[in-house]
Homo-oligomer: A and B are copies of this chain.
């Protein structure tokens, strides 16, 4: 969190301005950040105004500026906080085959969540290409979780000798995220089950030497 925090406990008793008064209601932080993400997905960074975010969160503008120094810092925090609500940790599918695992990851919630995050990324894109910090934050929050899941599944497939050990797992794990981004943002077509399965059966599995799907 980047916020200003007027709240450091006063070790110096002459600093009287620290314990008095109404406490800041930090339970509102997530609501505000969620509102920021909504606006971001709808209008992009430049289209987003602080008033929109405040209105959506039913908060006052001053409340936002008490917590974040600028629009930019609010957005950085909002992007970073996406990471937390993301993918389940090591509760990945384990069906015994790589194809089974990859297909098992295709669930409606994951698809919708992914499309929403890609829209947010699109709204941040022009900033991202000029701010490395934001680029890293967006990558960590949006692409990396998916890529890491794919990496894990492929490493397990290597361990059980289902696929060769010299596969370029790093690259292969990024295929689905990259292609999904292009499909949603430029082609404006849905990333549906059909598309993802054809990616698995037509690209990823053939690329690791698994010629045909186990089931017809």
Contacts and interface: CB of A to CB of B under 8 A. Distances in A.
Nearest to A211: B209
A138 interface: yes
Given A129-B122, A129-B123, A203 B185 contact: no
A41 to B, nearest CB: 9
A128 interface: yes
Given A143-B182, A209-B206, A188 B132 contact: yes
A185 B125 contact: yes
Interface bin, chain A: 35 or more
A92 B198 CA distance: 28
B175 A179 contact: yes
State the copy count for this chain: 2
Given A129-B44, A206-B207, A199 B186 contact: no
A161 interface: no
A174 B182 contact: yes
Contacts of A6: none
Given A139-B187, A186-B135, A202 B123 contact: no
Interface of A: 43-47, 119, 122-130, 132, 135, 138-139, 143, 167-168, 171-172, 174-175, 177-179, 181-182, 185-188, 198-199, 202-204, 206-209, 211
Which 7 pairs across A and B sit closest by C-beta, in order of nearness?
A44-B126, A125-B125, A46-B46, A168-B202, A122-B129, A178-B178, A207-B207
